[in-house]
Structure 1
Amino acid sequence: MTNTTLREPAFPDAVITEAIRWTEETGPLDDAQALRIAASRASDGHARITERALHLGERIGLPSEMTRARQWAPWVLLGLVALIVVAGLGLAGNVVGGGERHINVIVALVSLLGLHALTLVLWLVGLWLPAGSFGTASLGWIWLSLTARVAGGKRGQAPLLLRATTGLLTRARLLPWAFGLVSHGIWSLSFAVVLAAMLFALAFRSYTLSWETTILDPAFFVRAVQVLGWGPSQLGFPVPDAATVLSAAPGAAGQRTWAMWLTGCIVVYGLLPRLALVLLSAAVWRSRRKALQPDWSEPYYRKLLARFAALAPAAIVDADPGRMRGAAPARLAPSELQDALFVIGFELPPDMPWPPAALPADAAQVLRIDGSAPARRTLLDQLAQAHPRAVLLVCHAASSPDRGTERFLREVLAHCGECRLWLADANGEGAAGRWIDWLRDTGLERITASDSLDAALQGLSAP
């Protein structure tokens, strides 16, 4: 199955999958049960890896911490927005709150746009540099870090989830855009608050706007006002002419022109770029969000795919070409049998618990063999001496019977009165039908196979 046909996990599941990968960098987790559950619940490799990660993540508390993070994220963002709004109001107050009601337009413009321009340049540079060069200085990073810290506390998995999240964003080339979506949104709100506060103050109070210098040529300010005013003028904002700029005390019309020029500069060089970048970041997020998936080509994931492939039932090995179907060995006479029950675990996975629960109390022997030739010979010697009336052979349902299994069953039948198969860990895979078909095809119909222990034991207990 190609990667294009595989179901990809949702972003929260992808984060947990990556978090488990980082966790296992320091050592593999005990995943025997998780592998079996994932293999039974999912049909393709990537979905199985995700199911395994979710099962392991549940053990160390990752899903619950992700849920808390989603619950806290809006509140942390709201608190961060409140701080930025208060800061914006402070900036506006510094500009229009002076007791002398005198505004130096150049100083006001630098104070309102200076930090914005610096952070915007850093963000733009960060688009071309390696991921994370300026990420930790953005409001988006601050929001994500605070959310993880609040949700996870001091002993939570916040660093692990944060690393997994930023790793996925980096791989999808979305890290600056995701942080930018938050940062530009907060900056836009801040400028909106500043503009609202300034316009309210300028509308209902009288201010004197001018510029001051000690060493610069007045012609510099004339040129600077005209250059900076070009952008706002395209939206209809007025630009002070040279006479107004050079005038020591412009009239009411000149003051109004200065005020609208300052407002237009904040709109054009502050608010509008941030709003445009919010829309651009949202568009990039929508176009690339499907790439927020683990890198399945990583050796870690390739190894997991190989482990899942090894769990899949192999095709049943057919009999040798040209070999005739053999008959089952003849039953032993009742006088040759002893009233004993043998329970034998045959080639079971190492992690399967043994002995099984609910075994009958009259079982004479409860053994487990690995299927090697010496182990088989030792067991067959015991059966030849005991000649038990019944043998319950416990096999792994997902395993595939082959010619070696057939030979072993025939040898067991030659030394007992009845043999039955219990197919453990069937997990609804239809294993019983597969084994029954194989028993019929090999001439071993007298061996009953069942995926239920109770059904396999029915009638085997001592009378």
Structure 2
Amino acid sequence: MPDTALPPIAPLDRLWLTEAVRLREEHGGPLEDTEANRRASAAGGELGARIEARALLLAERDGQRAALLHWRQGARLALLLLALLALVSGASLAVAALGDGLRPVNVFWALGSLLGLNLITLLGWALASAFGNGGGGALGRLWLWLSEKLARDAQAAHLLPALLILLRRQRLSRWGLGLLVHGLWTLLLATAAVTLLMLFATRRYGFVWETTILAGDTFVALTQALGALPALLGLSVPDAAAIRASGAQALVDEGARQAWAGWLLGVLLVYGLLPRLLLTLFCLWRWKTGTRRLALDLALPGYQVLRERLQPTSERLGVADAAPASLPEHRAGALIGDGQGALLVAIELDDRRPWPPALPAGVADAGILDSREQRNRLLDQLSRFAPARLAIACDPRRSPDRGTLALIGELSRCAAATRIWLLAPLPGEALDGARLGDWHQALDALGLKHGDAPLGWLETGHD
């Protein structure tokens, strides 16, 4: 039964959970899915939609959907930690590049400090994207590792493998991790640029270049070549005379200082921040267009097995699946939305008991459920025409066995509100107090109200 506390699920998450359920069944064997198959078949639609509906029901029942929410929370926390690291690193990078202001700034050492690691990682990303399957590098792997560690949910074991398998079909993992990596580098370089600007505004820096084996003309040409693009954006570039003079000593001329500061900031923006920002936007565009094209690979064996269960070519009667190795805990619930009308149904009553009782107007009788066929037929009807109020009559002389409790839970999930009617014993018969206590304990565990005849509640909706 869907948990009303869970938010609506996004299309990507539906596919993600479907893949996770497939991997879980592939590694651990088939799940107990009778109710999920019935409800998915009743929902109709193409095979892919039915498979998704079945997987979502199983994921909600077994806790995988809640685990996905925990994984997302862990991923957001990991991203926040990496963003804080990027902020601190960007500010530290700018401070380290300029120094304390007491000594002249070697412009090319400063430029190498600001852009060197960025260019190396950018080249690594390009090579990985061109020749590999990823593009996230160490930063992307660190985020995935942190996300998994912070999730701390036993049901999340198949989530990350399922996500990577799903994204590889459209080669989306490179764009998703690329979006993460370029976004973090954009934040780091933007922080470095802002810190540079603040330091230039509050401290006085002198700029020099130094060399032992290169000629001064080499530095003039290189400086002017690097400053050509920033100059198109209106940022200052030192002239040839200022560049040559800076090779001897730090200039005290205010205009020369400002020109070097503008050049250094412009080169950082144009060759560092701008490419990362454009790559971030490009990865975002590829991610969004790719996720819209994502779909299940129905040719996989795990989905082919479900074809006959969810979209059978003919009905097969009298065939029961083998019992699974472990059964899920029985849970009750309530229909999400409004039903119509009121219904009374009984489970395995004694033939000597007169049934049904006199019912108020507007209350329908669904009879007595004694066989598997009767149960399935009623459940199919309730899947299409859900009642607002459902009363289930039970004979407390019988033991509250696993099958009866499972049926009660399944019926309750087909109605907006459910109550259990524990029938009084027939005249001359005694009621076992211990067995009645077992019923109370089991129904309390299911979270269902129980007691005497709820006919008034069925008629009016209140006691």
Query: How far did 1:229 drift?
Result: 1.4
Corresponding position of 2:92: 90
Name the amino acid aligned to 2:380. G
Pairing 1:358–2:309 present: no
Q: Mean Cα displacement is larger for which, 91-100 or 257-266?
A: 91-100
Name the amino acid aligned to 1:142. L
TM-score (norm 1): 0.65
Q: Secondary structure at the match of 1:25?
A: helix
Contact in 1 for aligned 2:71/2:156 (Cα 8 Å): no
Pick aligned residue for 1:160 from 151, 158, 161? 158
Aligned residues: 335
Name the amino acid aligned to 2:186. S
Partners of 2:380 and 2:64 in 1: CA distance: 29
Aligned in 2, Cα 1:430/1:114: closer, same or farther, shift over 3 Å?
closer
Corresponding position of 1:44: 46
Pick aligned residue for 1:189 from 187, 196, 202? 187
Corresponding position of 1:427: 379
Q: Secondary structure at the match of 1:268?
A: helix
Query: How far did 1:226 drift?
Result: 1.9
Aligned in 2, Cα 1:215/1:66: closer, same or farther, shift over 3 Å?
same
Pick aligned residue for 2:320 from 337, 344, 349? 349
Contact in 1 for aligned 2:94/2:195 (Cα 8 Å): yes
Aligned in 2, Cα 1:299/1:245: closer, same or farther, shift over 3 Å?
same
Query: How far did 1:394 drift?
Result: 7.6
Query: How far did 1:218 drift?
Result: 2.8
Pairing 1:145–2:180 present: no
Query: How far did 1:12 drift?
Result: 0.9
Query: How far did 1:41 drift?
Result: 3.3
Contact in 2 for aligned 1:32/1:351 (Cα 8 Å): no
Partners of 1:240 and 1:307 in 2: CA distance: 75
Name the amino acid aligned to 1:22. L
Q: Secondary structure at the match of 1:427?
A: helix
Corresponding position of 2:174: 176
Partners of 2:149 and 2:164 in 1: CA distance: 15
Partners of 1:423 and 1:82 in 2: CA distance: 57
Query: How far did 1:110 drift?
Result: 0.9
Q: Secondary structure at the match of 2:195?
A: helix
Pick aligned residue for 2:241 from 231, 240, 243? 243
Pick aligned residue for 2:109 from 84, 100, 107? 107
The C-alpha deviation readout for 1:223-259, integer Å capped at 9, x for no partner, is 2212211221221222223322221233332222111
Partners of 2:136 and 2:191 in 1: CA distance: 25
Q: Which ranges in structure 2 are unaligned for 5 or more consecutive residues?
A: 1-8, 324-345, 353-367, 384-410, 412-463
Query: How far did 1:113 drift?
Result: 0.7
Q: Which ranges in structure 1 are unaligned for 5 or more consecutive residues?
A: 1-7, 315-345, 363-391, 398-421, 432-451, 453-463
Q: Secondary structure at the match of 1:26?
A: helix
Corresponding position of 1:253: 255
Query: How far did 1:107 drift?
Result: 0.8
Aligned in 2, Cα 1:393/1:429: closer, same or farther, shift over 3 Å?
closer
Corresponding position of 1:203: 201
Partners of 1:312 and 1:147 in 2: CA distance: 45
Partners of 1:40 and 1:142 in 2: CA distance: 43
Aligned in 2, Cα 1:270/1:115: closer, same or farther, shift over 3 Å?
same
Q: Please tell me whether Structure 1 or Structure 2 has the larger radius of gyration of its CA atoms.
A: 1
Aligned in 2, Cα 1:239/1:430: closer, same or farther, shift over 3 Å?
closer
Q: Secondary structure at the match of 2:27?
A: coil
- If asked which structure has higher relative contact order (CA below 8 Å, sep 6+), I would say 2
Q: Secondary structure at the match of 1:428?
A: helix
Equivalences for residues 198-237 of structure 1 within 5 A:
198-237=196-235
Contact in 2 for aligned 1:69/1:151 (Cα 8 Å): yes
Aligned in 2, Cα 1:351/1:357: closer, same or farther, shift over 3 Å?
farther
Corresponding position of 1:297: 299
Partners of 1:97 and 1:307 in 2: CA distance: 70
Q: Mean Cα displacement is larger for which, 157-166 or 61-70?
A: 157-166
The C-alpha deviation readout for 1:42-95, integer Å capped at 9, x for no partner, is 433112211222233234421111112333443332221111111111111112
Name the amino acid aligned to 1:23. R
Partners of 1:228 and 1:76 in 2: CA distance: 36
Name the amino acid aligned to 1:108. A
Corresponding position of 2:124: 122
Query: How far did 1:424 drift?
Result: 4.3
The C-alpha deviation readout for 1:397-443, integer Å capped at 9, x for no partner, is 5xxxxxxxxxxxxxxxxxxxxxxxx5744433599xxxxxxxxxxxx
Corresponding position of 1:280: 282
Q: Secondary structure at the match of 2:207?
A: strand
Query: How far did 1:31 drift?
Result: 3.1
Aligned in 2, Cα 1:56/1:262: closer, same or farther, shift over 3 Å?
same
Corresponding position of 2:444: none
Equivalences for residues 45-60 of structure 1 within 5 A:
45-60=47-62
Q: Mean Cα displacement is larger for which, 296-305 or 80-89?
A: 296-305
Corresponding position of 2:459: none
Query: How far did 1:13 drift?
Result: 1.4
Contact in 2 for aligned 1:105/1:211 (Cα 8 Å): yes
Pairing 1:16–2:17 present: yes
Contact in 2 for aligned 1:123/1:176 (Cα 8 Å): no
Aligned in 2, Cα 1:305/1:99: closer, same or farther, shift over 3 Å?
same
Name the amino acid aligned to 2:294. L
TM-score (norm 2): 0.65
Contact in 2 for aligned 1:42/1:51 (Cα 8 Å): no
Contact in 1 for aligned 2:75/2:150 (Cα 8 Å): no
Corresponding position of 1:415: none
Aligned in 2, Cα 1:424/1:26: closer, same or farther, shift over 3 Å?
closer
Percentage identity across paired residues of the two chains = 36
Contact in 2 for aligned 1:13/1:50 (Cα 8 Å): yes
Partners of 1:273 and 1:358 in 2: CA distance: 72
Aligned in 2, Cα 1:423/1:190: closer, same or farther, shift over 3 Å?
closer
The C-alpha deviation readout for 1:85-125, integer Å capped at 9, x for no partner, is 11111111112232524211101111111111122122222
Contact in 1 for aligned 2:40/2:50 (Cα 8 Å): yes
Query: How far did 1:313 drift?
Result: 3.6
